[in-house]
């Protein structure tokens, strides 16, 4: 192999210098501006790193490389990648709303029994238009599990998308559910079980329908996995939680979010611990 160069690409994004890998480090190889290698190689991995701007959303990048041998033979290799159109919050959200006292069927006012997320924006310079303009683009999300007092503030209410309800009538099962935040009886549940006395603002809360997607591959989720979810047919205002299942719902902006239940830990009633405790991750469509 004597040469490596880019002959076409769909977007003129900046790139780092080409690196040659899997070669003798005592004899480094460089690639000049014309694509010629400083010495010929029989085996090599070329690293071509592209710097994608934050404005590259819901798009595809295509590129073609020309490889030349020492005998002048030429081969073209194509590559491409697509940007995902969702944001990921991989930090675990820990929520519960169940037994908290040894052997007693009670909730705690401080139980993190409301789930949600907020979107974080960054102002970036969009150079793809002429003249360039500044744009505010969503660049990350922050998920949360909050207590009633923290969740039911004016600032938090728009970002709350689920209430965790735990049926503790059966200590062996202690089933957990996601409940739409606008459900009227949540107020009575908080008052009686959590001893949370302020009025519950059901009319201000988000009306949410959840679809149990089952045990999908949440880790390797693709943009297409957000398509074809039938909320009218399958959506429910209250769904049981299962370890390993993912649940889809729509945001206020009519985007789709998918929440994943990594694990549900149930402790013996003899322990003075919140039980069951669920661990969540979330991905949200742009």
Per-residue pLDDT reduced to its tens digit, 30-39:
999 999 999 9
Q: How far is CA 142 from CA 88, 157, 234, 255, in A?
A: 9, 15, 27, 16
Give the HSE-up count for residue 57: Cα atoms under 13 Å, Cβ half-sphere: 15
Per-residue pLDDT reduced to its tens digit, 70-122:
999 999 999 998 877 899 998 999 999 988 777 778 898 899 999 999 999 98
Q: Which of 129, 147, 194 is nearest to 168 (CA)?
A: 194
Q: How far apart are CA 164 and CA 278, in angstroms?
A: 9
Read off the pTM. 0.78
């Amino acid at each position: 192999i004597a040469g490596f160069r880019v002959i076409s690409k769909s977007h003129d994004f900046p790139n780092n210098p080409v690196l040659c890998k899997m070669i003798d480090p005592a004899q480094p190889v460089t690639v000049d501006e014309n694509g010629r290698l400083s010495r010929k190689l029989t085996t090599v991995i070329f690293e071509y790193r592209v710097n994608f701007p934050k404005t590259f959303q819901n798009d595809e990048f295509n590129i073609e490389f020309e490889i030349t041998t020492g005998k002048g033979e030429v081969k073209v290799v194509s590559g491409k990648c697509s940007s995902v159109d969702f944001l990921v919050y991989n930090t675990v959200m820990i929520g519960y709303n169940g037994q908290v006292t040894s052997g007693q069927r009670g909730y705690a006012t401080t139980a993190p029994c409301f789930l949600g997320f907020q979107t974080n924006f960054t102002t970036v310079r969009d150079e793809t238009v002429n003249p360039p303009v500044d744009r505010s683009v969503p660049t990350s999300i922050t998920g949360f599990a909050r207590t009633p007092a923290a969740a039911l503030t004016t600032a938090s209410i728009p970002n709350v998308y689920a209430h965790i309800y735990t049926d503790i009538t059966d200590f062996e099962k202690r089933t957990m559910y996601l409940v739409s935040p606008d459900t009227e009886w949540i107020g009575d549940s908080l008052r009686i079980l959590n001893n949370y006395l302020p009025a519950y603002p059901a009319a201000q809360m988000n009306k949410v329908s959840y679809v149990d997607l089952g045990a999908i591959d949440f880790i390797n989720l693709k943009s297409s996995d957000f398509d074809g979810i039938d909320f009218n047919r399958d959506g429910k205002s209250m769904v049981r939680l299962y370890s390993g299942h993912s649940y889809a719902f729509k945001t206020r902006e009519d985007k789709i979010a998918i929440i994943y239940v990594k694990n549900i830990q149930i402790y013996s009633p003899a322990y003075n611990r919140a039980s069951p405790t669920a661990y969540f991750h979330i991905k949200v469509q742009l």
